[in-house]
């Protein structure tokens, strides 16, 4: 897509701090992090929003989602269980879709937001 910021990041025409890459996906650090860990996972193929996806895209969407716990663990915010069985750590996975969903960049992306609280606007 011409003039799409995240297509340009995927094509390395605009620099970003890349943390993961394979044939289908790219993950990089958000330029304006809302929390100590704030990563974005995008498909290399352009989809304007999640609403542009169909059932045929389920494997790609599943791959995006399955990457979240792997990257969260790598960046120190994975979910862990203590000897008492209590969970600690953790992160949010978020896909904003459309104006009312708070989407600003129209290339499908999943936020991975984690790290010790407080985060911007959250406890």
CA–CA gap between residue 106 and residue 56 (Å, rounded): 20
- Residue 77: how many other CB atoms lie within 10 Å: 23
Cα dist from 4 to 13, 45, 51, 69, 105, whole Å: 11, 11, 17, 27, 8
Q: What share of the chain is helix, strand, coil (3-state, %, to 5)?
A: 25, 25, 50
Of 32 and 54, which has the nearer Cβ to ligand 5GP?
A: 32
Q: Which does 1 bind (CB under 5 to 8 A by kind): Zn ion, ligand 5GP, none?
A: Zn ion
- Give the nearest distance from C-beta 42 to Zn ion in angstroms: 8
Of 32 and 88, which has the nearer Cβ to ligand 5GP?
A: 32
Catalytic residue from among 38, 109, 111, 117: 109
Is 109 a catalytic site residue? yes
List contacts with ligand 5GP (CB under 6 A). Answer: 5, 16, 28-32, 40, 96, 102-105
Catalytic residues: 109
């Amino acid at each position: 897509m011409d003039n799409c910021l995240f297509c340009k990041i995927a094509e390395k025409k605009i620099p970003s701090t890349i943390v993961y890459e394979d044939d289908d996906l790219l993950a990089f650090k958000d330029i304006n992090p809302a929390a100590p860990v704030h990563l974005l996972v995008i498909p290399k193929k352009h989809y304007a929003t999640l609403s542009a996806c169909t059932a045929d895209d389920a494997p790609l969407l599943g791959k995006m989602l399955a990457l979240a716990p792997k990257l969260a663990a790598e960046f120190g915010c994975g979910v862990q269980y203590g000897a008492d069985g209590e969970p600690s750590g953790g992160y949010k996975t978020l896909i904003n879709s459309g104006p009312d969903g708070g989407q600003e960049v129209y290339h499908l992306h999943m936020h991975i937001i984690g790290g010790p609280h407080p985060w911007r606007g959250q406890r």
